[in-house]
Amino acid sequence: MSAAAGGRGSSRRLVVEADGGSRGNPGPAGYGALVRDALTGEVLAEVAESIGHATNNVAEYRGLIAGLAAAAGIDTSARVEVRMDSKLVVEQMSGRWKIKHPDMVPLALEARELAAGLGSVSYGWIPRNRNAHADRLANEAMDAAARGEHWTRKVEETPGEPEPPPRPVSSTPMTTLLLRHGETPLSIEKRFAGIGDTRLTANGAAQARAAALALKDRGLDAIVTSPLARCRDTAAEVAAVTGLDVRAEDGFRETDFGDWEGLTFAEAGKGWPAELKAWLADPDVAPPGGESFTQVSRRVRTALDKLKVRYREQTVLVVSHVTPIKLLVKDALGAPMSALYRMHLDVAALSSIDWYADGPATLRTYNDTHHLPS
């Protein structure tokens, strides 16, 4: 996948899915396209049209043009990812294949002009079964063309309703309450506990219940958890006292420590002395068979972006692990990655961060354990 346009930056990411075709090539033709929010998957716009008698390639380019135009109508500064099952269009728009057919040249130029007006655009090929929504729209358009009808479909934001006015920047933050899971057998022995599904000890379950009681009256609007068992079990205790559903988010799972899973720090140092030294010195270095802190940081930021979209101005409990919570704290403070090595986080500890829509964040509490039995 390669960038085809660049320039203005934007925090918003959109996905364009487009398709087109004809019955006979050339024959009765039509296209379909849609725009999704890249984080939530929500369909923001749909457009389709019968275009009379044309080839498959012309219809596919028309679908791309319509999709880019729809994306520009939502946010001209957005970063856009185009997904199509047309290898020809994807390769030509990515600049890897030459455009030889004279019918394609003006269409490609029109698409490139639209792309240049967006924050950035990249192109990726997907198999037809993953482009089913756009394919369905294109087939509706082709059916109309076969009947000799000029047919269009255009739905933006909410079908049948006027587009809502843009929401102003809010001074009310989204608040994340960050709860580390309760005690596990590995945490007692200070062993690397990554993506293995370790369960809570009896004491860990008691810690989770104590945290749940402390959170009962904190005005939670949602509970989001790492998918790993020790976090799901902790989150379930909070759900039991608040009545809220629990949503799993893979981005908040712990680091994959690879070959070091289940080992103590000393054991990892004995078996991989050079690798451990490099890992401690550089966040881009991963444990053997695992992932680096830099990789974890990327998925944690994506998970946070999802929260900001779904839970604007709300209070969300995030049940997670040492590394993701420290990374969120680091980002809130604008601290370097080296700050991770200077934070201590207890099991079942609570931290809280306010995230404001205009960018800044405020760390309000960190490693609060007052709710735990002594």
Rounded-to-integer distance, Cα 204 and Cα 211, Å: 10
Least confident stretch, 10-19, 58-67, 107-116, 345-354 = 10-19
Handedness of CA 83, 84, 87, 91 (dihedral sign): negative
Q: Which residue has the tokens 């289940």?
A: 262
DSSP string, 192-218: ---SS-PPPPHHHHHHHHHHHHHHTTS
Cα–Cα distance for residue pair 300/150, rounded to 1 Å = 47
What's the pLDDT band for 358 if we cut at 50, 70, 90?
low
Amino acid letter, residue 314: Q
- Per-residue model confidence (pLDDT) at position 156: 60
The CB-side HSE value for 278 (13 A sphere, CA atoms) comes to 10
- The residue-averaged pLDDT of 105-113 equals 91
Q: Which amino acid is at 366?
A: Y
- At 2, is the pLDDT very low, low, confident or very high (cuts 50, 70, 90)? very low
- Cα-based distances in Å from 325 to 147, 328, 360: 58, 5, 17
Residue 170, pLDDT score: 55
How does pLDDT run across 236-294, given as a tens digit for each residue?
Answer: 999 999 999 999 999 999 999 999 999 999 999 999 999 999 999 999 999 999 999 99
Task: Compute the distance between CA of residue 292 and CA of residue 256 in angstroms, rounded to an integer.
Answer: 8
pLDDT at site 101: 85
Q: What is the pLDDT of residues 166-198, one digit of tens each?
A: 445 457 899 999 999 999 999 999 999 999 989
d(CA 23, CA 29): 6
d(C-alpha 327, C-alpha 309), whole Å: 19
Active-site annotation holds for 181: yes
Mean pLDDT, rounded, of the chain: 89
Residues 6 or more apart whose Cβ sits within 8 Å of residue 335: 329
Give the 3-state secondary structure of residue 54. Answer: strand
| pLDDT tens digits, one per residue of 16-31 | 999 999 998 889 999 9
What percentage of the chain has pLDDT greater than the value 90?
A: 71
**Which of 17, 60, 254, 261 is labelled catalytic?**
254
C-alpha 316/C-alpha 319 separation (Å) is 10
Q: Name the more confident of 347 and 305.
A: 347
Which pLDDT belongs to residue 359? 65
Across 59-73, 166-180, 308-322, least confident range:
166-180
Query: Tell me, what's the pLDDT at 7?
Result: 41
Q: Which of 46, 181, 183, 237 is catalytic?
A: 181
- Band (pLDDT 50/70/90 cuts) for residue 164 is very low
Q: What's the Cα-to-Cα distance from 274 to each of 77, 271, 278, 281, rounded to whole Å?
A: 45, 9, 6, 11
**Whole-number pLDDT of residue 33:** 96
Distance CA 241, CA 293 (A): 34
> pLDDT at position 11, please?
60
Q: What is the pLDDT of residue 219?
A: 94
- Per-residue pLDDT averaged across 71-80, rounded? 90
Q: Is 250 exposed, middle or buried (0-12, 13-18, 19+ CB in 10 A)?
A: exposed
Give the pair of three-digit tokens for residue 188: 């007692």
pLDDT for res 324: 97
293 against 4, higher pLDDT: 293
Least confident of 7-11, 47-51, 203-207, 321-325: 7-11
Give me the amino acid identity at 272: W
pLDDT of residue 312: 86
Question: Whole-prediction pTM value?
Answer: 0.60
User: Using an 8 Å Cβ cutoff, are 181 and 247 in contact?
Assistant: no
Cis amide prior to 26 (ω within 30 degrees): yes
CB atoms near residue 55 (< 10 Å): 19
Could you tell me if 31 and 60 are in contact, meaning their C-beta atoms sit under 8 angstroms apart?
yes
The alpha-helical segments, DSSP class H, found in the chain are: 56-74, 87-93, 104-116, 132-146, 185-188, 202-215, 229-242, 265-271, 273-281, 293-310, 322-333
